Structure 1
Amino acid sequence: MTTARIVGRADTAEYYFVERCHVLEHWNRADDPHSSIARIRVEPGTTTRLHSLRGTSERYVILQGRGTMFAGDLAPSEVGPGDTVFIPADAPQRIANTGDGDLIFLAICTPRFVPECYQDLEADG
């Protein structure tokens, strides 16, 4: 990608993902394979499916709500607004919304998220 650009919010729509969360892709383009940015919304009382991203590292930047993060060898950890979680490529991960409202965070992936990298690790998945 060699040209500057602005992607407006009207260019994207939130969708429900099988992981048990709602996704709004802010940036995920084939012509910029180095990274992607999505806003993730997890409803109260919901825990996302245990999964890993094959060959893709991820950072969660918590914007709103409270949760418990489970990632790789990290002990289960409480997270809230302003916290950033680094998840190495291929590490098992999930997050539980422990608050009364939506848990909202940015998921920044390197390289960019593609559906083929998503690996469901739950027994029924």
Structure 2
Amino acid sequence: MKAAVLSAADAVEFPTAERCHITEWSNTDADPVMSIARARVEPGVTTRWHRVVGTVERYVILEGRGRVEAGELPPREVGPGDVVLIPAGCPQRIANTGQSDLTFLAICTPRFRPGLYEDLEADSTR
């Protein structure tokens, strides 16, 4: 890896089928050990049940209120400053329980790649 500055001005937010909006702040072949994305969930929205194979995730809650469900962890309310640790392959979803956007960083190791994402609602009634 070489020293670099990645500009937020170059990042573009996009909607996902998971029901959230993602802005990739750092996700590149030049830094394969980690990725950082800003996720935004609108009020009243719950993301789809999913998991990321072979990738550990950490949600760092920046703004808003939510309820996270991950693996065997009972549903937990989360807010600014909370960090959610999600093991590789762990079923998960997050709901925005507040009146404004829920925003958080999704920090993945190794870096997130779309082929590792598995939607668990396709064959499930969860």
Match of 1:55 in 2: 54
Partner of 2:83: 84
User: Aligned equivalents of 2:37 and 2:60: distance in 1?
Assistant: 10
Counterparts of 1:34-113 in structure 2, within 5 Å, are 34-113=33-112
Q: Structure 1 regions of 5+ residues with no counterpart?
A: none
Where in structure 1 do 4 or more consecutive aligned residues deviate above 3 Å? Answer: none
Deviation (angstroms), 1:41:
0.2
The letter for the 1-side match of 2:77 is: E
**Where does residue 32 of structure 2 map in the other structure?**
33
SS at match of 1:116: helix
Identity of aligned residues (%): 62
Match of 2:14 in 1: 15
Question: How many angstroms does 1:30 deviate by?
Answer: 1.0
Give the TM-score of the pair, scaled to structure 2: 0.96
Kindly state the Cα deviation for residue 124 of structure 1 after the two structures are TM-superposed: 5.8
CA RMSD of aligned residues (A): 1.1
Name which of structure 1's ranges 54-63 and 8-17 shifts more when overlaid on structure 2: 8-17
1:89-123 residue CA offsets vs partner (Å, 9 max, x unmatched) = 00000000000000000000000000000000003
Q: Structure 1 counterpart of 2:95, which letter?
A: A
Q: Distance in 1 between matches of 2:77 and 2:31?
A: 33
Q: Distance in 2 between matches of 1:120 and 1:36?
A: 20
Length-normalised TM-score, structure 1: 0.96
